Structure 1
């Protein structure tokens, strides 16, 4: 099994932590960086090889990860000279990828079983499967439903809670789904979804109920560090068992 990890962003929302270090290398707790946690998890979930899509401060990621031997993985790289979107970097190495593969952001902490997720996608026969998560937002205001003209209220809800499913930044893909696109072009996940839906193809949604934290903002990073002692055995159970032995 193979994974493409997107690790080329500038991490501007996470400054000042990312001023001198690329976001995937910021430390969680006092032992691992985000990227190290992900690489160990992929190995433990049955993956054998990884492509790291790097850009901003990519030389630091190359120097840190190397060829992946210490993680039990074969790691190769693709360089992103200019931003290509979420899926654009994958197009550059598409010919080298297996028929089914994982694509994921390099700033995600989760105990999702990546191997089981990819296998479920293969069994579905769909073009793309998105790992999704339930989120809810409570409004701070009373919400009004009005007529199309806007001059009459037809319903009222006092500070309602809106529930929806979001992408976890983890996708299982089939190579043929991306064949229509040209290597080097900018391609975002949103464009891919809209193109598939316009053609009548329905990407799969695999709802996950475990732990998931997208480290995009300083408060997310602070939360990850606060929760590390509690979550380390969940995120890296193999290492927790080894330490206990």
Structure 2
């Protein structure tokens, strides 16, 4: 949203403030009606809500009072630090809108805690260049990430979720019918983010396109496949790699194998024990990764390179690779059966 729509000068009257709040109400872009009162230098000196105005009218019955006279000068705010911001402490205080100010107390942006799950200092690359042959003929004229899932394309679900975790810079690697993706999302400005497209002249695997980015500006990078549908907790992944001081964290899903027969534990041909119809649970790669920016230097420039190769190299060199289980839903939309499953699933989401 435009910051001017939520800023008001301290000399404006509360009647003028009411008019601005009314405009916000009908625009519907913010979860709470609030304005930030600024001085002549555009520094924020307080906040005004509809409740503040009601209390002022009850006490003074004067619509001509200035917003600078009635504003809350003890408003809660955060100075922009470009790092991880723990929103839990603000949610615990029932804060709905958190303004982010610079060191001169000028308003840079707001965090709507009703819409934002986290604020992660990550840049992300979404891999969206594949052909999607298994979904042909659906993908003969439409790239797989742009296939509809509910009311929007598959990749849009992922981008919206990234936005809800405060990720503002997204790279999308494109090749097959990539213009359709670019035409749909543009530069991302209408979503309040920045999107840059990395074009693959030849297929570069699941990590090769990372080598084409001149410089990532975040110490950790999020990489994910575009054809996933999941409620993965990106904040949990991020905090895990930080707390474990790991080089890479891979989101994982559980894969259960049910054996329909008794399984013997043996030594040579002697049965030592057996289990009747056991089940085994394995953790498998979910196609979502967070890793240190330095690892990009290991990726050969403009050559086919899979993320699994980077993982193997990391483990061989004694690096720390961890996995983080996804506790919600996860669907890899790689086949007609999976796509139909995701279409049915999204119908029951609110």
Q: Would you say same fold, with TM above 0.5?
A: yes
Q: Is the 8 A contact 1:42 1:115 kept in 2?
A: no
> Residues of 1 paired with 2:275 and 2:214: CA distance?
49
Question: How far 1:71 moved relative to its partner?
Answer: 2.4
With over 3 angstroms needed to count, the CA separation of the structure-2 counterparts of 1:92 and 1:140, relative to structure 1, is: farther
Is 2:295 the counterpart of 1:177?
yes
172, 193, 208: which one aligns with 2:326: 208
> Residues of 1 paired with 2:214 and 2:261: CA distance?
47
- TM-score w.r.t. the length of structure 1 is 0.84
Partner of 1:46: 166
Question: How far 1:118 moved relative to its partner?
Answer: 2.5
Moved more, 138-147 or 2-11: 138-147
Is 2:18 the counterpart of 1:18?
no
> Helix, strand or coil for the counterpart of 1:75?
strand
Counterparts of 1:68-147 in structure 2, within 5 Å, are: 68-93=188-213, 95-139=215-259
Question: How far 1:97 moved relative to its partner?
Answer: 4.3
Find the structure with the greater CA-based Rg. 2
Runs (5+) with no aligned partner, structure 2? 1-121
- The CA RMSD measured in Å over matched residues stands at 2.1
Q: How many residues align?
A: 228
With over 3 angstroms needed to count, the CA separation of the structure-2 counterparts of 1:143 and 1:189, relative to structure 1, is: farther
With over 3 angstroms needed to count, the CA separation of the structure-2 counterparts of 1:182 and 1:229, relative to structure 1, is: same
The superposition leaves residues 24-51 of structure 1 with CA deviations (integer Å, 9 ceiling, x where unpaired) of 100012x111111111111111111100
- TM-score w.r.t. the length of structure 2 is 0.60
Partner of 1:189: 307
Counterparts of 1:26-45 in structure 2, within 5 Å, are: 26-29=147-150, 31-45=151-165
> Helix, strand or coil for the counterpart of 2:303?
coil
Q: Is the 8 A contact 1:54 1:80 kept in 2?
A: yes
> Helix, strand or coil for the counterpart of 1:129?
strand
Is 2:124 the counterpart of 1:6?
no
Q: Is the 8 A contact 1:104 1:169 kept in 2?
A: yes
Question: How far 1:153 moved relative to its partner?
Answer: 6.8
The superposition leaves residues 18-77 of structure 1 with CA deviations (integer Å, 9 ceiling, x where unpaired) of 121111100012x11111111111111111110001111111111111111232211001
Q: Is the 8 A contact 2:132 2:144 kept in 1?
A: yes
With over 3 angstroms needed to count, the CA separation of the structure-2 counterparts of 1:59 and 1:136, relative to structure 1, is: same
With over 3 angstroms needed to count, the CA separation of the structure-2 counterparts of 1:193 and 1:71, relative to structure 1, is: same
Q: Is the 8 A contact 1:102 1:172 kept in 2?
A: yes
> Residues of 2 paired with 1:140 and 1:97: CA distance?
51
> Residues of 2 paired with 1:82 and 1:143: CA distance?
47
> Residues of 1 paired with 2:261 and 2:192: CA distance?
51
Q: Is the 8 A contact 1:131 1:171 kept in 2?
A: yes
Runs (5+) with no aligned partner, structure 1? 234-245
> Residues of 1 paired with 2:240 and 2:168: CA distance?
18
> Helix, strand or coil for the counterpart of 1:95?
coil
Question: How far 1:219 moved relative to its partner?
Answer: 0.7
